[in-house]
Amino acid sequence: MTRKTLSLAATLCLAAGVVFAAPAGKMVSYPAGSETVSGYLSLPGTDGKKPAIVVIQEWWGLNDFVKQKADHFAAAGYVALAPDLYGGKATSDPMKAHELSRIPPEHVMRQLKAAVEYLKGRSDVDSGRLASIGWCFGGGYSLELAFEQSPPLSGAVIYYGRLVADRGVIANLRVPLLGNFGGQDQGIPAESVREFEARAKQEGKSVDFKIYPDGGHAFASSSDPKVYRPADAKDADARTDAFLARVLKGKSS
C-alpha cells in the first residue's frame, strides 16, 4: 500500500494544546535502518511486561499535546512511545507545519516501524500486544500501520485521519480499527467515513467509527475554543480508552 492512497489531512489541522503538565517521560534514541531516530517514551509506574502504544503526532510535530497523550496512556498501564518524526522540530505556525509535514512518507513509515520494533525489543513490553494511535496527519499513518503485515499490531485508532476508498485496499486491513470523526470536517467528509466503515465490514473487518455531528476537524485536540468540543472530545477519548483496553488487555467495556 502506498501513501498516495492516504493523502494528508494536514491542511485542515488546527493547533493542539491548552495547558499541559510537565512531561513525565523522556526522550530515547533507537535505530531506523541506517539512521538513529528518537521519540518521547512514557512508562507506567509498575513492574512486569506491559502492552505498548505508538503515539503518532499531528502535523505540528512532537509537541506538548502528543507528550501529554503518551503520559495519559502510560498512566493507564501502557508503555507509550511518540516518535519524533520531524527530528526535534515542532511549530504552532500552520505554514511551517505544512512545510514540515512534507517529509517523505517512506521516511515516516520507516520511523514508525522502527518505533514498533523498539517497543517489541524492550524487556518491559509484551511484544504481542501493540497498538497505534494518531490525530490528523498521525491518524492517516495510524491507519497505514493497520495495513502492515509486519510488524503486526493488535489494533489502531484514528482521530480524523485521511481514509482510503479502494475496496481492494480496505480488504487488506489486518487489525481492529477505531475511528473518531467530525461531521463538519470539510477535509474528511462524513460520507467517506461511512463508506469506509461499510466496505470494511462487508470484508469482515472489525471497524468502529463514530461521527460527531457538530464536530469539525481537530475537535478533540485543538486549542481553539471555536473548534475544540469538550463533550465530544471526552466521549471520543473514552471510546479510545475502552478500545485499547479491549484489544491490548482483553477487557470488555
CA angle 65, 69, 75 (to 5 degrees): 145
**DSSP letters spanning 37-82:** EEEEEE--SS-S-EEEEEEE--TTBS-HHHHHHHHHHHHTT-EEEE
Range of the domain at 213: 3-249
Total domains present in the chain: 1
pLDDT given for residue 20 in this prediction: 59
> What tens-digit pLDDT sequence spans the chain (253 residues)?
443 433 334 334 444 334 556 778 999 999 999 999 999 999 998 999 999 999 999 999 999 999 999 999 999 999 999 999 999 999 999 999 999 999 999 999 999 999 999 999 999 999 999 999 999 999 999 999 999 877 679 999 999 999 998 989 999 998 999 999 999 999 999 999 999 999 999 999 999 999 999 999 999 999 889 999 999 999 999 999 999 999 999 977 5
The helix/strand/coil state of 83 is strand
Query: Which CATH number do you get for residue 198?
Result: 3.40.50.1820
Torsion sign (Cα): 176, 8, 15, 184: negative
pLDDT given for residue 251 in this prediction: 77
Count of residues making up the chain: 253
Between helix 105-120 and helix 137-146 the angle, nearest 10°, is 60
What CA–CA distance (Å, rounded) separates 130 from 117? 10
Question: Which three cell numbers mark 43?
Answer: 512508562
pLDDT given for residue 24 in this prediction: 85
